[in-house]
A = this chain, B = another copy of it.
Amino acid sequence: MKARMKHASIWKTCVGAISGMIDEAAFKVLPEGMKMRAMDPSHICLVDFELRKEAFDEFLVNEPVTLGINLLGMDKILSRARTDDEFALELDAEKNRLVLTFKGASTRSFSMPLIDVGESELPEPKLRHTASADIVAGIIQDGLKDAELIGDLLTVKLSKEGLFMRAEGDRGSSELELRVGNPSLPRLDVEQEARASFNVGYLAKTVKAAGPIDIVTVNLGTNLPITLNYSLADAKGRLIFTLAPRIEAE
């Protein structure tokens, strides 16, 4: 198995975001691309990742293979990539290692041992979301940082008026409003107003994947898990976080 990209940045961003939630995971390498679906250890967040072979400049797979990857270790290695380095990922089946190569001013490579990761087939969750919006990621990141000053619970609401985020704590409260017509809210579809509360820390990890001007697709249903969906590499892949709600104290 060998995969090559002009720039390490997509892979680096994905591994950075996923490794914030999950320490290790089984990546399936199939002729059509790479896939990974896993729950975080506390079973609060499901991570669903797919990057199709079209996202790579070279993608050679003789037979499907599952790679057990220590994501924290890989994230550290990827931190050594320069933005303009060419990037390759190659399986050394004999040594049971994965080789990451960065080509820039010099050629640097890292080999990391593959690990055994218990694989379980997780079905795609079916959720009856009643509201959906495309939102500039920086807005959500702002609302989360505001909420971190206040407490660890954030209530998210999508109504026909727009997006509303609210945190309440002993030290006061924070609120964010992003109303219809604001360019940072390019799409809003509300079948029925939806509202649910989430852990601020977990929610913050799900937006770590995004640059501040990236668009996130958010789906919400009252007291249902929220999904945050990132399109990767010009829609040649996706990264979806599904985060369980917390019961809101009334």
Take A145-B80, A149-B80 as given contacts and tell me if A176 and B107 are in contact as well, using a CB distance cutoff of 8 Å: yes
Chain A interface, number of residues (Cβ within 8 angstroms): 34
* Chain B residue with Cβ nearest A103: B177
Q: Contact: A106 with B174, CB < 8 Å?
A: no
Q: Is A83 an interface residue (CB 8 A)?
A: no
In the complex, which of the residues B73, B76, B172 contacts A112, with contact meaning CB atoms closer than 8 Å?
B172
CB-nearest residue of chain B relative to A77?
B149
Per-residue contact bits, chain A 132-175, to B (CB 8 Å; 1 contact, 0 not) = 00001011001101100110000000000000000000011111
User: What is the CA–CA distance of A66 and B233 in the complex, to the nearest angstrom?
Assistant: 55
Is A42 an interface residue, CB under 8 A from the partner? no
Which residues of B are found within 8 Å of A175, using beta-carbon distances?
108-110
Q: Which of B110, B111, B142, B179 contacts A108 (CB 8 A)?
A: B142
Chain B residue numbers with a CB within 8 Å of A105 are 136, 138-139, 142, 182, 184
Enumerate chain B residues within 8 angstroms of A136, measured Cβ to Cβ: 105
Which B residues lie within 8 Å of A6 (CB)? none
- For window 60-97 of A, CB contacts with B under 8 Å fall at 73, 76-77, 80, 97
CA gap between A248 and B108 in the complex, in Å? 21
CB distance from A148 to the nearest CB of B (A): 9
User: A178 near B: Cβ within 8 Å?
Assistant: yes
